[in-house]
């Protein structure tokens, strides 16, 4: 094992414009927000973003003009409404969207992690999903004659996962009490290169003494970055909850392009780094209110 520790800036610089990226998280928990902010500060463009179920992370990247195509089972702000930039860009015809159901999308990610070009699914039968993407084709099972669709492996250049803690080698762990409604481990395996941001980098002994909690082992990982509150305004289960007030503010500003431009100026492009962002959203007082 060797150290894979990097700064947020170094890790974000690995991703050129035109890349395909997969983002972790399950709607509001564990969106790699600090990493997304850094991509926006760098002006990365023309991304294809693949997600299981996404919210403010992909929406912000779309609003900053960084995304060409999204492949997803959901983009929205959960109880805070529709994702404003996703909605505006799709309605304007500026954004390609592939819609797939959760199990079909899992088949796509699983195929990539499994190392095969496609997997069959029955979840698209009778629906409109296959009509609007080149990544699904109607087929017949060679063994049973059943009708299925073959869905193409959802491979990306990079996956970015936000996790709880890791050692400097990139052994990523999660707490016993956690949100299980996610498939970040599967997403971690679906790309050529994996970047992990975590709330805290811990001494190697912490990992070794609790090795059953390791969820992403070091040999999958290219870079590990310490970013406290790196999922804000989303949540990191067990550590802090979503910032409802900030998400409402995000949804409100997102209603218009000008409003969203002002949001970006205030919270993303107008701040130097993640530390300044944390000051801007209310600093330690606000962060303490969000702690679980």
Partner 1 sequence: MSGISLPATDFTVSELMAATVARALRDDEMGFVGVGSGGRAFTLTFGIPVVAARLAQHAQAPNFSLQLGSMVSPDLSAIPSAASEASILNIRYDLYWPAAGRIQALDNMDLFTAGRGVDVGFVSAAQIDAYGNTNITCIGSHDRPRVRLVGCLAQPELMAFTRRAIVMLDLSPRVFVERVDFVTSAGYLTGGDARKRAGIPGGGPELVVTDKAVFDFEPEVKRMRLRSVHPGVTVEEVLAHMGFRPAVPDPVPETPPPSPEQVRLIREVIDPRRILLGG
Q: What's the closest the beta carbon of residue 76 comes to partner 1, in angstroms?
A: 4
Name which of 136 and 224 has its Cβ closer to partner 1. 136
Q: What's the closest the beta carbon of residue 130 comes to partner 1, in angstroms?
A: 10
Helix, strand or coil, per DSSP, at residue 24:
coil
User: Considering Cα of 280, then 286, then 290, then 292, what sign does the dihedral take?
Assistant: positive
Name which of 2 and 142 has its Cβ closer to partner 1. 142
Name which of 131 and 209 has its Cβ closer to partner 1. 131
Name which of 102 and 276 has its Cβ closer to partner 1. 102
Give me the DSSP letters along 82-113.
B-HHHHHHHHTT-SEEEE--HHHHHHHHHHHH
Name which of 4 and 84 has its Cβ closer to partner 1. 84
d(CA 22, CA 16): 14
For the chain, give the longest Cα–Cα distance. Answer: 62
Q: List contacts with partner 1 (CB under 8 A).
A: 26-29, 52-53, 72-76, 78-83, 86-87, 90-91, 93, 97, 99-104, 106, 110, 121-129, 131-132, 146-148, 177-183, 186, 235, 237-238, 241-242, 244, 292
Q: What's the closest the beta carbon of residue 224 comes to partner 1, in angstroms?
A: 23
Q: Are strands 191-201 and 223-226 parallel, antiparallel or unpaired?
A: parallel
Residues 6+ apart with CB under 8 A from 282: none
d(CA 130, CA 126): 9
Name which of 169 and 230 has its Cβ closer to partner 1. 230
Q: What's the closest the beta carbon of residue 210 comes to partner 1, in angstroms?
A: 19
Both tokens assigned to 119:
């997997």
d(CA 109, CA 87): 24
Q: What's the closest the beta carbon of residue 12 comes to partner 1, in angstroms?
A: 26
**Burial class, 82, CB count within 10 angstroms (exposed 0-12 / middle 13-18 / buried 19+):** middle
d(CA 175, CA 235): 14
Q: What's the closest the beta carbon of residue 50 comes to partner 1, in angstroms?
A: 13
Name which of 1 and 138 has its Cβ closer to partner 1. 138
Q: What's the closest the beta carbon of residue 68 comes to partner 1, in angstroms?
A: 14
d(CA 135, CA 14): 27
């Amino acid at each position: 094992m060797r150290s894979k520790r990097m700064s947020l800036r170094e890790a974000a610089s690995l991703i050129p414009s035109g890349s395909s990226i997969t983002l972790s998280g399950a709607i509001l928990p564990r969106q790699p927000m600090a990493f997304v902010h850094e991509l926006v500060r760098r002006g990365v463009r023309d991304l294809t973003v693949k997600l299981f179920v996404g919210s403010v992370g992909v929406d912000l990247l779309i609003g900053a003009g960084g995304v060409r195509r999204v492949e997803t089972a959901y983009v929205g702000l959960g109880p805070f409404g529709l994702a404003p930039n996703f909605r505006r860009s799709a309605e304007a015809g500026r954004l390609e969207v592939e819609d797939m159901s959760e199990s079909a999308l899992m088949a796509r990610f699983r195929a990539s992690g499994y190392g095969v070009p496609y997997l069959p699914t029955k979840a698209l039968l009778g629906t409109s999903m296959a009509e609007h993407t080149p990544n699904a084709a109607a087929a017949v099972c060679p063994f049973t004659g059943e009708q299925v669709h073959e869905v193409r492996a959802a491979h990306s250049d990079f996956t970015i996962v936000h996790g709880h803690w890791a050692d400097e080698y990139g052994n990523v762990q999660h707490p016993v009490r956690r949100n299980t409604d996610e498939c970040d481990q599967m997403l971690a395996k679906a790309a050529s290169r994996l970047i992990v941001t975590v709330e805290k980098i811990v001494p190697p002994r912490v990992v070794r003494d609790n090795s059953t909690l390791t969820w992403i082992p070091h040999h999958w990982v290219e870079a590990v970055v310490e970013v406290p509150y790196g999922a804000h305004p989303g949540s990191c289960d067990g550590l802090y909850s979503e910032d409802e007030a900030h998400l409402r503010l995000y949804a409100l500003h997102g209603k218009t392009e000008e409003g969203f431009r002002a949001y970006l100026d205030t919270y993303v492009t107008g701040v130097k780094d993640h530390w300044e962002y944390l000051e801007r959203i209310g600093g330690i007082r606000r962060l303490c209110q969000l702690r679980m």
